[in-house]
A and B are shown apart, each in its own frame.
Chain A
Amino acid sequence: MKRPWKNRVVVRLFLSYLAVVLLLFLLFYLYATAIVKDFHISSLSAKMRDEAKIVMRLLPVGLEGAALDRICRDLGRDLGVRITVIDLGGKVLGDSDEPSVTMENHGTRPEVLDAASKGGGTSIRYSATVRHEMLYQAVLLREAGRRWIVRLSVPLDSIEAAESSLRRAMLAGLLLFSAAGLLVAFFVSHRLEQRIKRMLEFSDNVARGRFSQQPILLGRTDELGILEHNLHAMSRSIQETIAGVTAEKEKVDSILRCMTEGVLVVDTRGRLILLNENAKRMFNLPEESDPHGASLVELSRHPEMKKLLAEVLACDCSTACFTKDICLDEGKWFHVNAVTLRGVDEKPLGYILVLHDVTELKRLETVRADFVANVSHELRTPLTAIRGYAETLLRSPPADPKEAEHFLGIIHRHSERLGRLIDDLLTLSDLESGKIQIAREKLQAAELIGKVLEIFQDQAQRKDVALLRQIEPELPPILGDPDRLQQLLINLIDNALKYTDKGSITIAARSGGIRDRELGIGATPESRTPNFQSLTPNSHFVELSVSDTGCGIPEKELPRLTERFYRVDKARSRELGGTGLGLAIVKHIVQAHGGSLAIESRLQKGTTVRILLPAENEASSSSVPTPPLDSRTDKTVRS
């Protein structure tokens, strides 16, 4: 990642190095030049003092003015200095450069004053005469009657020239040194930067949750090295923690996902915190949707849902579990349990609602309630008749024996009906409890159908209904119990005859079949036909079907048709003498054989009942039945 250069630690470090080096360099430079200058000046002035003493001795006494000027000029030229001779009063007696007579009194010059009082003086001044910075050295001579002050002066140019060359050399040297130093500093800081950069990248990756298995190159064991090591250890422990948390979360998630109940967690205001997959399915939400934070109302707008929420929020679920059954769209029933969700500090965080889909249970409840009502009703109807006629016979026996016979006939008929009813109930309960052993005999469909049709021949002729047979040749034998299958066909044909006033009843048998659901009940023939067409001819099933051209059954009644005592048209079927148990028995016989049942019907067109029964495998006709059949048989017998 790129960051502004100003914000880089290494750049800052480098810049402060640079500042320190420059400052030190400057200080040293100033100090050194000052010292060198001082040294120069002091050595020069010492030399000049000596020269002044010599010059003094060489000058003749008593001269002044132009003559002295001339001597001074000669000496000055030899020494390369300017020589001025001054008396104690300050009057210039001779000068090497200027005519002394014209010169002003020098008594006030600092070096002259110093020389007059202490015997010698030095001064650096700007000379107005020669327009230069000059070094003046004055010496007092007090011997042989001469009381002069000799002053030598040189321009400082020469010193400055020497100084500047020295300065240049020093500058060059120092620059070279500091450049080398900075170069080293740069490399060191660059290396440092590389390590910091590596750590930065590493920590950045960790922060983004990208854990690389590769450790940072562990450098030397300096502080940075320790930091690198710690970073690595930290990343590892974070990784482990995250892995642990993730595993834990996955465990909880999969538990929630695999629960058959719908689980909803809402906060104290009724907003969703969590819901599991099954709850999504219950409310027809897409699998990937995340309704977190939404209100329950958005899940299902059914008014029941809001009422439920209000009740949950209002009730104190901390002590007891809130329980309620609600009915939502499409007649779905849910059993709802709610408990308060509490945090560690016992403060309520929300509510957990567990929804069980009890639609099927509710349906069964209805079936059971209906059954009890039906069975008592069915038993009472003939009993009432029997009791009524028996009481009549007892209390006021009719005089006419014919009438009495009629009464007795009614009693007989009703008691027979009662007996039939009880027989059917017993058969049904035996079949349901699995007590009946289903025999596995090889049966020819044609034979079976023939036997049953004989029974109905008369009845059909009386009603003017044709009984037709359509039996495929070379059918494999059915494996089943002859008595039970006969009963099954009798029930079906009996039903068909009852509800068919004109037309025909067709009993068909053909090979092949599908393993449908335990009980496949088709709504319309169209929806079923493709399934039947896709049969392979050598499936080990034989399909028996009974079709009539009767009044048909409304579509919505089809699912409940095989319930005990269920009647589509209650008045009519009882009048026809049915017990309401026929189809229930058929269903159980088919199930006991490991077959399946399908009913199709169209109003005013007719009804077709199809039954698939296991047949003997042609390929292994001599050997034992095929394994799936076998296991099926076992299961049936055991249950």
Chain B
Amino acid sequence: MLTQHTDKRYEEDLKKLREDILYMGGLVEDQIQKAVSSLVDRDSNMAATIIERDKEVNTLDVEIDELCIQLLALHQPAARDLRFITTALKITTDLERIGDMAVNICERALELNAEPQLKPYIDIPRMARISQRMIHESLDAFVREDTNLALKVCKDDQEVDDLNSQVFRETVSFMIEDPHTINRAMKISFISKYLERIADHATNIAEMVVFMVKGKSIRHLKELPQSI
């Protein structure tokens, strides 16, 4: 992994950065999972807890930012470490956005729980599972510098996109059948959109990992390369 540095303090700080990012990833993964289960199990208490816990994600975001800037200022890292730290800076922004999305899901869940359930949720937990796995794998790719895993994450994004349009079609059909369901169907559609955005953020992380390792940008390409 990281090469040995003579400076013990620097070494420790880099390690801490790595751990903090992983922890933040774990935290937002948990946020998503709990957010979706608060929707599926109609558990408003849990939704409230999740919204409260977003503060921890925000604090972590600030802390990691500060740690990165401190590392850059004090040690003027070069090459690999520089790329690692700058990527970490960008990753936290994405993770923080994912945390916000989880909060949005909870807010919609709170509203939906106040009304009767429109339909059993089948695709939404599936989307949550996939995007959760994508976050997990993109961070795995980040710490292991594994571009193949990162590419896999980018490819998995399609699955979530497909599920999103499926949910959209479904909710639209509900709305056409019965205008009374529009309110709830819209919210379900929102939640699906949030999850789709989460998967996009995970893809962003994976793309940055590829850039970090290979120095090659695969962002904004029409088609993903088969291998790097």
User: Which residues does A use to contact B, with CB under 8 Å?
Assistant: 295, 297-298, 300-303, 305-306
Contact = CB atoms under 8 A, between A and B. Distances in A.
Q: How large is the interface on B (under 10, 10 to 19, 20 to 34, 35 or more residues)?
A: 10 to 19
21 contacts: A295-B15, A295-B19, A297-B19, A297-B23, A297-B26, A298-B18, A298-B22, A300-B26, A301-B22, A301-B25, A301-B26, A301-B27, A301-B136, A301-B139, A302-B26, A303-B23, A303-B26, A303-B27, A303-B30, A305-B26, A306-B26
Contacts, number: 30
Nearest to A302: B26
Nearest to A603: B120
B29 A301 contact: yes
Contacts of B19: 295, 297-298
Closest 5 CB pairs of A and B: A301-B26, A295-B19, A297-B19, A297-B23, A303-B27
A298 B143 contact: yes
A295 B139 CA distance: 15
Q: Which DSSP category, helix, strand, loop or mixed, fits chain A's interface?
A: helix
A282 to B, nearest CB: 16
A303 B29 CA distance: 9
Given A297-B22, A301-B22, A301-B27, 18 more contacts: A295-B15, A295-B22, A297-B23, A297-B26, A298-B18, A298-B19, A300-B26, A301-B23, A301-B25, A301-B29, A301-B136, A302-B29, A303-B23, A303-B26, A303-B30, A305-B26, A306-B23, A306-B26
A301 B27 CA distance: 7
Interface in B191-223: none
A317 to B, nearest CB: 22
B64 to A, nearest CB: 13
Interface in B1-43: 15, 18-19, 22-23, 25-27, 29-30
Interface string B132-160: 00001001000100000000000000000
Contacts of B136: 301
Nearest to A270: B19
Contacts of B139: 301
Contacts of B27: 301, 303
B51 to A, nearest CB: 15
Contacts of A303: 23, 26-27, 30
Nearest to B15: A295
A297, A302, A305 pick with most chain B CB within 10 angstroms:
A297
Contacts of A301: 22-23, 25-27, 29, 136, 139
Contacts of B26: 297, 300-303, 305-306
Nearest to A296: B19
Contacts of A300: 26
A332 to B, nearest CB: 13
A31 B30 CA distance: 100
A300 B26 CA distance: 8
Contacts of B29: 301-302
Contacts of B23: 297, 301, 303, 306
Nearest to B26: A301
B194 to A, nearest CB: 20
A301 B135 CA distance: 11
B116 to A, nearest CB: 16
A571 B136 CA distance: 41
A303 B27 CA distance: 5
Nearest to A298: B22
B22 A302 contact: no
A303 B54 CA distance: 13
A301 B136 CA distance: 9
A245 to B, nearest CB: 28
A244 B18 CA distance: 40
A6 to B, nearest CB: 34
A588 to B, nearest CB: 31
Nearest to A304: B30
A596 B26 CA distance: 41
Contacts of A297: 19, 22-23, 26
A303 B136 CA distance: 13
B138 to A, nearest CB: 12
B223 to A, nearest CB: 32
Nearest to B20: A297
A303 B30 CA distance: 7
Contacts of B18: 298
Contacts of A295: 15, 19, 22
A297 B25 CA distance: 10
A127 B139 CA distance: 106
A367 to B, nearest CB: 19
A376 to B, nearest CB: 25
A306 B136 CA distance: 16
Contacts of A302: 26, 29-30
